[in-house]
Every structure is written in structure tokens, then in C-alpha cells.
Structure 1
């Protein structure tokens, strides 16, 4: 029986993926094999030795101490793309709010509580509506920084609206490139994109390389009157630099999902309370993806959508057993493990070995389950971190 500890409120549709004949799932559970969580911060919590994997039901994993878990051989999964449509729709809403006088117009209309004559109010509306005039998105240029699952969806939508689209992503994968419409132009660098775009939307992960990617220096290149949208992560933008640019009338508006004290009380800032993925559909999709990945790893050793381990999948090779182990990514470890198996007459049927950064991961199918002393011998191989027999 596998044990799964939940944090936060996880969608029932995700939790229902766990077969209760094989899984015990609860928020209060001893010696869990895995965690599934949303935004709960794990940095200050002791990690039980029983934990083998963590599934984050969302895209970002800044609430998980990934580097620490990697050293302990704990796989960390996320759910890339599961909330992409929800974020895409909110970005579109942000662009529309930033292009028209929607919010100030509605606030003004709601302030007319002393008027009782409908005809008089209608006449006033006709007289004052020019104060809330805006511009259309069609024909404008949108810059997308980060062309993953969300960025590519936004590119599709913007093109359908008649916008021009420029993309910038120094870490663009081949898979992501195939998803992109051919009409998306490529910027050579961030400064080039900022200088050419009427709207700029950010969709990169919050990592050391992207910390304050938008800062005082980069904003010197921004096109005058541009609207900046940040529905990615707070740390990507230096809020003080944005306020400085707004005060200088370089940026026209900043629309984000991350309110900060310095941004409040300004008419040129629309700050939402981190609702980018807050739809019932997105929460369900993220929970389902997280649960499925966690189960496949615990039951089969397969890894999909991990942020710290390589992607490794292998079909089962008959009725035998499966050995999985991770190790420091140095030469000779796999050879030593295979020697242990050969010395103990454990026949290997199939295997796969992949590495990512400092971590290597291996799946080995064998004809029969190895004895405990064989497993102990594998664990004793230098640089082996964890071993499982499934």
C-alpha cells in the first residue's frame, strides 16, 4: 500500500485517480511515499526518509526545495501546460483591460448613484464616454518572453486577433518550437523585443537567471507607451524599476498577478491577487497530471515532467522485477551495478539510463526479484543515492 500525503485543497478529480486498493491518501499520514501539493511551502519542513517523490499540482516549483530533494534522490514533478489555458485567458483579459478604459469607465458609471433620471444619465454617458476611449488590439504588436505551453497559446490567440507577434526565448526547446505558429517573429534579445512591442507578456520560470529580468536597465529599451503584463512570477520583475518607468511615462501600464505595496493606489497598475490558474478546470487538470505522474513513478519507476530528474520511461519486460536507482552523474556507476547483478546471477532483460545535470537515473528489468543482500550491495556502490525494487 502506497501512502500519499496531500497539502492544500487538491481537486477531487485528481485524488480520485489514486486506486484506494493500492493507495492511502490523506492530509495527515505517517511515512508517506509521496506528496501532492499546490502552493504549500516545504522549505522549512523536515523530509521523511520514506518520501520518494513530490508532485506539484501546478507549473512553478519555487515552494519546493528542489536542490535539497535532488541530493536525497527525491523526484519533483510539476504539471506544465495543465493550467496554460487558464493563464492564457487571463493574459487576454489583461490586454483588453489595458487597451480600453474599461475599469475607469465602470468605476465612473458606478459612482453616479445620485442620479435618478435614466434619460439624463444616458445623455451624460454620451457626453463623457470619450474620456474612456482606448485602442484596439488588432494591428498592435505583442512581445512574448518565454514560448512554452502558455506562451505558444497566447501567440495563437494574439494572431487570431490580428496582432503581430514577436517571441524571445533563449531556452526554446525543439518541442516548443514545433508548437509555435510560423507567423511568430523571433527577437534576438530581450532589448530588441521591448523596443518593438506595444504589449509585452512574460512567461518564463522564476529561476536565478530570470530574477529581475525586467529591471531598470532593460526598461530603458521599452517602447514608449507599452503595456507590460506579468502573469508568470513576481520575482521576474523589479517592481521599483517598473514604477520608475511608469512615472517617466515610458511604460503606460503594468498589469500583473502579483500585488506589491509599491504598486498599490496607482491608476496605471492593475494588480490581480494571483488568480492566473484559479479556475476549476485548471485545478482539476493540474491535480490529475500530478497524480498520474506520481503513480507511474511509484508503480513503474517512470519519470515524466520532472524538474530535477531526466525524463525516463520504459515498458515493463514481462513478469520479472524492476530495479530503479539514481546516482551522482559520474562515470562507472552503472557498470558497477551491472557487475553486482552479474556476480549474483541476476539476469538483465532490459534497461535504460538517462542523466540530467548532476543526476543520473536508471531502470533495469530483471528476470527475478533480487535478494536483499543484492539490493544492499547496489546501495553500497559509490555514488548511488537511492535504490528501489518494484
Structure 2
């Protein structure tokens, strides 16, 4: 199979492979030398000088081979290593090399002794590999190279390609000077700077196209490929200084990622969201209806936190935008803070610390109690509440809990049928409820009056859950002995001045919404949310989506995958299957999940398709979004 009149000329080092082969050979042949690292650095410097055209290739080759001190045995080890160092997008697009075998050439300034065994697996025969040859002495040591080979000379690739006199359009794919000069010499029609492994500025500056991977090259040329849409074309915008690991995880998977350290206002986000496929936020940025209307390419929103009230979830669903959050990643961090604050409050640690900071020594046991044997009331027995229950009980506390849902008790925890029952019995009450707007002022004057006199209140859930004025009054009249507050009804968008009624109270611990802000939690979130995003973008999986029907999908096996999001009205599945039948598509697997408003259908198909089928599927009435994966 071929595109009429087109030939593809690949470089080897740092293009077909992730590395420069002679650099790896140096690591092998010099492993027992004390000055190994120094020599390898010198070889790498010489390699780069030659690749960028700053010294002649012949000089580069002579100087490196003298330093290598390599043998035939070393080459066998090199070949084994290179087989494991094929460029990721090259190895994932083996089908292209197989289908277009007769049109693919390798022209390299490397050596056939290690190139031929590698490219053979990609159906590129030795007769279409043009490279240098080593010279060996009688003991098998590499002592030089064939100087008569045109590729051993400066600009040898130009002479080699010219001698081949390939018919039709010639496209060169490589990463260095010796590749782009073929285009400049007029014997290649296009030069693609391949930057998956190394980005060489000179090569990129002289390129017709910069291709961060083979997927991009194949996409531009409309050739068979592993991915229907190159990942480098998928734009991801991360706001609010999410952990750098999120940037690394998504970038490493091939996506184009932009990181902004602060939140954006609605208008700023409306302007920025155009062309963005994935949006990552924390708690400050609001994804409103206007933002979603402006998001012409948005597929998914990742909330790098637990709460999702800052996102218009239902409207996002109507737009076919899937939302993921991180419901478990900071659980331990919040629980540890709660345990610490229970101890600090009951021991009156903060008043004693403040006194010492002010130069006053006040050694006293007054208002200082152990937590052992005390009653802890947990309001909200979800992931955080349950883990707190286990740890508090292990420290000797008696645990009571209340939840509007029927939750199974862990350990010896006692379930309370009403909130009032829990408040009546607890020495410490800690809140871990969700962000449902109905929870506004969940704890106010009435609830505080139901608490034991001298009890303590901890809020690590949502700011609007506690009536701050009522809490302030209860602290002033001694109804409560202390409190710990991490969240507030109104919080600033950025670090800076902040005022609260509670700042005048001695035994009140105030923290700036840091319950989940530990290095470990932020790292876990930076792994969890990007993984969910990548699973959806790469396979269509919606497991753990907060606003969308959940589907766990098997791995694609040599199939095209059609993802169809639609309004949940009768007959859509029948319409989809009728379209597929009309275009003679064979379904190898099909998956459907719905909720009251939307349906999500995934169809795996085992053959090439007429692209008109896509238009027909998009044209089905009530379609919200359609996407192809292969």
C-alpha cells in the first residue's frame, strides 16, 4: 500500500530510537574505566557539534570512535539495548511501517551493524537502509569506519539521497542538521523536525513542520496511525498552581500542557478556554455556564480537590463535558489535621503557646484534658469520617457518628439516629459533610445550644456549613471551650489580608483552608486526577466521573472506537446501530450507560470505515458530542 509518488526518509538516532546509539555504546564499552563519565561527556559534546553542523561529520565520527574503544561483543549488547529504546510513538505505529514498507527508507550517519537488526522488526529491509560501516581489527575491536562510504563524509546524506533519485515527493523525518540540509539542497520536498526525544533549535527553525511524535507526522499526511488525533494537539490548561507532578504526568503522555499559578476570573477564563480540550482547576476557579458556552472544544474538567460546587455540573453534562475530582487523595491529610486539632484544643496548647510567644510562663493543668475516654461526634461518615473514626478509637476515644445516609459502623463506633443525639453526647464535634448548598448554616445557634457546655467544634468541611456569628457568640459566653476552623463562608481568591470574627478568641485554631494541603496529598491528587483525565481522553472510560454515566471499558484491541454522547431519549441506540449497519460496520463490542439526562454509547469496530459514517453519526438527532479513537 502506498500514497502515489511519496517516499519517507527516516533518520535513525534520536528519531527511530530515543537515544544516540554511539552514546549508549560508550556507556557499554567504557563501563570499567575510572574516567568513564568524563569520556562519555566528551563524546556527547562531539555528537552535538556534529548534529548541529558546527564541525564536519567526518571529524565528529573519527573523534568519537577513537574514544569508544568498543568491540563486536559490545555491539551485540548495544543492539539489545536499542530494541528497548525505540521511540514511543514509533513503536505504537508499527502498522504504518508495515503498510508502507516499500516507500520507507532509512538514511543515517549511524552504522548498519546496529541499525539493520533494529529496523528489520519494522519491515525495513537492509537494502533500504543507508548507513556507515565499522572497520574491525583481527580481535574484533572497532578501529575505524569505511571512509569510502559517502555517508562518512560531510553532507553525506545529500549525496546519498541524490544518488537514490527517488521518484515523487520525498519527505525527510529527522532531528538534526544532516537531515534538514537535504531539504535545503532541494532534493527533499519537506523536512519534518522530529522532537519527541530531543528538540534541536536549528533543526526546528529549518522545518516545514515540527512533529513532537510520529502521530503528528502521520496526522498531517493523513496516514494510518495508532491515534486518531495526536496528543500534542490536545490542549490542557491547568490553573491555581496544581502540583507540578500533574504537569509532568500529562506532558509525559504527550499532551500540550499550559500551567498558570493563579485562578482566573469568569471573563479571563472565557477568553482563555477557547481551543482548550481539558481544564484543570482547584477550588477558586468557577466553571460557569458562560465559561462552558465559550469552551468550543472542552472535553473534560479535572477538579484537583474534593469539592465540585465551583463547576456547573449539570450544564457541563448537557454540553458533553465530563468532570472528575479527587475524592480520596487528601483523606489522610484531613484526618491527621483533625486528630491534631482535637488534641491541641483539649490540651489548650494554643493559649499556652501564645503566652510564651508573648514572654509569659504559665505552667498549669487547668482546661487541659486527655482525649482518651472522651466522646468524639463525627458528622458525615464518608471517606474522611470513617478513617477519623478508626484513628480516634485507636487513641482511646469513644466514637459516635451521624450521616443522612445509612453507613455501616467501623470498629466500636455508635450510630446516632439524629444530629441532636450526637450533639448531646459529644465532647468534640467534627464536621465532614459535603458541599450540598442545603448544608448552609448546618451548625447554627439551635445546634450549638444542643451541644454539651464546654464542648469543642471542628470544621474541616465547607465554610458555609457553620454560622460564624453563632459560633462567635457561643465562644464568648463559654458555651463552647474552643474551636478549630479551616474553611470560611467567604475566602479570598489569593493569599493576603483576611479577617474573621473568630480571630479574637484564645482557644480557636484558625487555618487558611489547608486541611488537604500536604505535599503527599497534593502529589496523590496530581496522580489521581490526571490518570482519570488520560483514561477518558485515551480510552473513553468515565469511571469515577461525578456528573456522567460511569463506564469501565476494556482496552482497545485492533479496533476503532466511536464515542457517542447524546440526550437520553428513546431510540438513539437503534439509530446508531442502523447507521453502522448502513455503512457495513462490524461491531466487536458495544457499551451503554445512561442517567436521566444523557446517554453514553461506545462502539468498537473491527474494520476501516468510510469517513461519511462519522458525519452520519454526528447528524443523529439529540447528539451532544461524538469522538473517534483508534
Q: TM-score range by the shorter chain?
A: 0.7 to 0.9
Gaps of 5+ in 1: 114-124
Q: Which one of the candidate residues 317, 336, 341 is aligned to 1:70? A: 317
Matched residue, 1:34: 278
Q: 1: distance between equivalents of 2:423 and 2:540? A: 44
Q: How do 1:338-377 and structure 2 match up within 5 A?
A: 338-368=577-607, 370-377=609-616
Q: 2: distance between equivalents of 1:31 and 1:307? A: 23
Structure 2 CA distance for partners of 1:21 and 1:199, relative to 1, 3 Å: closer
Q: Which one of the candidate residues 78, 83, 105 is aligned to 2:352? A: 105
Q: 2: distance between equivalents of 1:191 and 1:328? A: 43
Matched residue, 2:44: none
Q: 2: distance between equivalents of 1:247 and 1:80? A: 36
The question of 1:290 aligning with 2:519 is answered no
Matched residue, 2:248: 16
Which string of whole-angstrom CA distances, capped at 9 and with x for unpartnered residues, describes residues 132-173 of structure 1?
541111111111122222112111110110111112222357
Q: Which one of the candidate residues 220, 232, 243 is aligned to 2:449? A: 220
Aligned-pair RMSD on alpha carbons? Answer: 2.3
- Give structure 1 regions of 4+ aligned residues with deviation exceeding 4 angstroms: none
How far apart are residue 286 of structure 1 and its match? 0.6
Which string of whole-angstrom CA distances, capped at 9 and with x for unpartnered residues, describes residues 337-390 of structure 1?
223222332222222222344333222222236544323333333333211111
| Aligned 8 A contact 2:236 2:280 in 1 | yes
Matched residue, 2:304: 57
Q: 2: distance between equivalents of 1:271 and 1:131? A: 23
Q: 1: distance between equivalents of 2:611 and 2:481? A: 67
| Aligned 8 A contact 1:6 1:27 in 2 | yes
Gaps of 5+ in 2: 1-230, 261-271, 489-498
Q: Normalising by structure 2, report the TM-score.
A: 0.56
| Aligned 8 A contact 2:351 2:507 in 1 | no
Q: How do 1:1-390 and structure 2 match up within 5 A?
A: 1=231, 2-20=234-252, 22-27=254-259, 31-43=275-287, 46-47=291-292, 48-112=295-359, 128-130=362-364, 132-171=366-405, 177=408, 181-259=410-488, 261-368=500-607, 370-390=609-629
Matched residue, 1:118: none
Q: 2: distance between equivalents of 1:333 and 1:212? A: 44
More moved, 44-53 vs 87-96: 44-53
Which SS does the other structure have where 2:336 is aligned? Answer: helix
Matched residue, 1:122: none
Q: Normalising by structure 1, report the TM-score.
A: 0.88
Q: 1: distance between equivalents of 2:590 and 2:346? A: 56
Higher helix share: 2
Which string of whole-angstrom CA distances, capped at 9 and with x for unpartnered residues, describes residues 232-257 of structure 1?
11011221222233344333322110
Q: In terms of Rg, which structure is larger?
A: 2
More contact order relative to length (CA 8 Å, sep ≥ 6)? 1
Matched residue, 1:120: none
Which SS does the other structure have where 2:280 is aligned? Answer: strand
Which string of whole-angstrom CA distances, capped at 9 and with x for unpartnered residues, describes residues 256-313 of structure 1?
1025623221224322111112211111111111111100000000013222113211
Which SS does the other structure have where 1:289 is aligned? Answer: helix
Which string of whole-angstrom CA distances, capped at 9 and with x for unpartnered residues, describes residues 201-240 of structure 1?
1112111232222223333322222211111110112212
Q: 2: distance between equivalents of 1:328 and 1:220? A: 48
